[in-house]
Amino acid sequence: MTYNQGYSYRHVLGPLAVGRSTLSYLTRTFTHSTESEWQGRLEAGEVFLDGQVAQGQEALLAGKLLIWNRPAWIEADTPQEYQIVYRDDHLLAVDKPSGLPTIPGAGFYSNTLLNLVLKKFPEARPLHRLGRATSGLVLFALDTQTAATMTASWTKVRKQYQALGSFVASEDSYDIQTRIGLCDHPRIGKVHAASESGKPARSVARTLERRRDSTVFEVDLHTGRPHQIRIHLACIGHPLVGDPLYAAGGKPILNHPGLPGDAGYWLHAKRLTFQHPSSGHPIDLVTALPEILCTT
């Protein structure tokens, strides 16, 4: 393990900040840290408000820029290799290993797929992301126009996954349309889960293989909500084998407060199908499955 170079977190204040003190706002908004931890960062001169060192008692206004200059920290080790699946002048597709975050977040900055890809392709821009424990295809744009075109047409990209769900499926296919929104979590405040007040979401899962106490599913993702497949398979009574976060019903496991990035489950983004943004030709990208997800 080695130290990274630290990172500056930039945050533009919105209407909810008006009238609050800097310390109060940081504590209530960024609940990953306690009030005493934020107080220590303020005293260390790590927090800036519109270019000036924040003291903690300032009355905040909307539109102001809040910056936390986080000092270098030791990141957990992650896989440091990926496989190139497709590359041309406009697009790059890679096979991400499980355990490697796609982009910075949740304590990771240097040990991410994005950082590894930028070393060889400095112009690359990720068009989507996979959860840290999810393996498979991640697509990058290699120029600004391609990024804009692909982002505008992303809903037309066919996204197919393979997953290992708990218990034996009784049906051959499931059209899952449970809404997904933020719900309470005992450690991080909020996490995405099944929610009647959430946003519409749709996944179509097909039973590929029934095993003694589990099922291999193929899943077409029709929307892109956070943790959608994990939540939707849990909603039909088949949470991913080893998932530390979601139980049957699609809600967080409150007596075992796993975190969104925790590993232990098997989920693989195996296929992306779309129209090439430059040539218009159909592109069908497929990656090899982890052995445990292969069917006989």
The CATH number assigned to the domain holding 18 equals 3.10.290.10
Whether 255 maps to a domain, the answer reads: yes
Are 62 and 161 in a shared domain? no
* Mean of the per-residue pLDDT values of the chain: 93
> CB of 248 within 8 A of CB of 223?
no
For residues 48 and 18, give the distance between their C-alpha atoms in angstroms, rounded to a whole number: 17
Whether 110 maps to a domain, the answer reads: no
Whether 25 maps to a domain, the answer reads: yes
Q: Say what the pTM is.
A: 0.84
For residues 242 and 164, give the distance between their C-alpha atoms in angstroms, rounded to a whole number: 9
Stretches where the chain sits below pLDDT 70 are 1, 106, 256-257, 259, 261
Count of domains observed in the chain: 2
**pLDDT given at position 253:** 85
Whether 161 maps to a domain, the answer reads: yes
Whether 52 maps to a domain, the answer reads: yes
The CATH number assigned to the domain holding 245 equals 3.30.2350.10
Domain boundary residue, one of 70, 100, 115: 70
**pLDDT given at position 95:** 98
**pLDDT given at position 257:** 65
Whether 166 maps to a domain, the answer reads: yes
Which residues share a beta bridge with 252?
246
Domain that holds residue 196: 157-265
**pLDDT given at position 24:** 96
Domain boundary residue, one of 23, 48, 70: 70
Whether 57 maps to a domain, the answer reads: yes
Whether 28 maps to a domain, the answer reads: yes
Domain boundary residue, one of 53, 70, 87: 70
What are the start-end ranges of the H helices in the chain? 22-29, 35-43, 113-120, 144-152, 228-235
